[in-house]
A and B are shown apart, each in its own frame.
Chain A
Amino acid sequence: MTQDKAEQKAVEKAVQKETAKDAAPENSGDAKAIDVQGLHKAFGELEVLRGIDFSVARGEVVCIIGPSGSGKSTLLRCVNLLEEPSSGRVTVAGTEVTDPDVDIDLVRRRIGMVFQSFNLFPHLTVLENLTIAQRRVLRRDRAEADRIARVNLERVGLGEKEASYPAQLSGGQQQRVAIARALSMDPELMLFDEPTSALDPELVGDVLAVMRSLADEGMTMLVVTHEMSFAREVADRVVFMDGGVIVEEGIPERVVGDPQHERTRTFLARVLDPAAAEVGEVADTGPTGKRVDR
């Protein structure tokens, strides 16, 4: 893909976003949905995040890629404080979640989260999965919660499954229910933690399609993923992480299409063509711990 074409595509995408955003009401004046500064996280001796600075703008779709153990999931989980950062500041939609005085429950209800292992509530029906937090957390009455739940089930194409239990659904259906569950809280942004990694290959497409339509509607999304085609086609920006730091970030055409860093190249070679990488295994010689392209 040529540079011109790439830029043109990025502009098109931005225009789409603008239109979508005009339709949706603005929540606050802050343009940044997520702002992370100097984030460190250690599990005992193990340093998983070693100084992360990055931000996500409202309406932006950012994909985080990188080898396993690079800290991508931990970064995502620090955004809604499922992991407590060791140091650094995390601000979500203008609220500093790392501030000890902040009621994290209030912030979390504005952040949708989708897990690799779905984590649907197995003792509740699909509809109840979507309504329980609406009713218990947002205090919506049953009729209102049911109505919103049904709208979101239709949105992920599972309107007819509301009476089923999670165990009766396929993995792909479960993950779409999980997305609908998060959407039912009217989140300002969505976090996706490897949403398709636990799925059989033939089920990945449906989930990605739902995520793609969300992105088209202007939802702010931070996605940890191994789906390079999704990152390339849907993301506004791709972040490559390795060893607890951001190695490079930028528009997908740049990071995925023309990576500047040896480590990124090695990783992409492995992911995009595992067989070829096996043969031409290159030693990881790239400089460590430095961010480029900001």
Chain B
Amino acid sequence: MPLSKRRRARIIRGVQYGVLVAAVVIFALVADWHQLRTAFFDVNVAKALFPDIITTALVNTVLYTLLGFGFGLALGLVLALMRLSSVPPYRWIAVTYIEFFRGIPALLVFIALGFGVPLAFEVALDMNVTVMLSLGLVGAAYMAETIRAGIQAVPKGQTEAARSLGMSHGRAMLSIVIPQAFRIVLPPLTNELILLTKDSSLVYLLGLSLGQFELANFGRDALNEHKSLTPILIAGLLYLVITLPLGQVVRRLEARTAKAR
């Protein structure tokens, strides 16, 4: 007798559970729990990390991210407005910029600004400025496209109402369109902030002094010192301490926008 569809589905589901249980059992038997615990959860190593991993590394990660995000947001807004300009050359410049910086690795930008610019122009950029420019230049390209989409998502009637009240084009943009555009793009912009938080780890390339360490660099340094994976695990968890609430914020914002519409 052929199996009914529902019966077959139930059997397949049973097999899937079976495979999962088997994998867990085998892993539990084979794994060297003692070694795993010393590698990942060495309490003494963990204790040695605090409080510096918070007061220096976490703080610096947040600082670098915010510097890059702030600059990137401002530049991204300018690029978005250029992209929508009625003057064609502005549009070309914006499109070229966006395509260029979206297409190259952020790593390359860090190298160019960290080493290329100081060598070629014989100027010493401040560390924070280098980070701000590197993260911001790349972030701006992404944010420009997001902001442009947001501006275009504001209904045309809003501009018409503003203009019919006697507002100039610029005033209508500033007071009416851009505030609404930002509400629309707040969720995707927060996602961009999460991406930048992770990209901030690229500053390790620049060769940091102790006080400038951020999470990834701090973790790597501690790894060498303690020969333990514990610092990496804790650094990872601290990234989550930053990014998970941001993800929560995105969900909250999305729910709020859905309600306001």
Contacts and interface: CB of A to CB of B under 8 A. Distances in A.
A121 B157 CA distance: 10
Binding site secondary structure of chain B: helix
Contacts of B260: 122, 165, 167
B163 interface: yes
Interface stretch (B16-24, B172-180, B209-217): B172-180
A121 B176 CA distance: 7
Nearest to A165: B260
Nearest to B180: A123
Nearest to B169: A105
A181 interface: yes
Interface residues of B, number: 20
Contact of A185 (B155, B160, B165, B175): B165
A80 B167 contact: no
B164 A111 contact: yes
Binding site secondary structure of chain A: loop
B166 A137 contact: yes
A132 B171 CA distance: 11
Nearest to A178: B161
Interface of A: 80, 82, 105-106, 108-111, 113, 115, 117, 119-123, 132-133, 136-138, 165, 167, 178, 181-182, 185
22 contacts: A82-B163, A105-B163, A108-B163, A111-B164, A113-B164, A115-B157, A115-B161, A117-B157, A119-B161, A121-B158, A121-B161, A121-B162, A122-B180, A133-B162, A133-B165, A133-B166, A137-B165, A137-B166, A165-B260, A167-B261, A182-B165, A185-B166
Given A119-B155, A119-B158, 13 more contacts: A105-B163, A111-B164, A119-B157, A119-B160, A122-B260, A123-B179, A123-B180, A123-B183, A136-B167, A136-B171, A138-B166, A165-B260, A167-B261
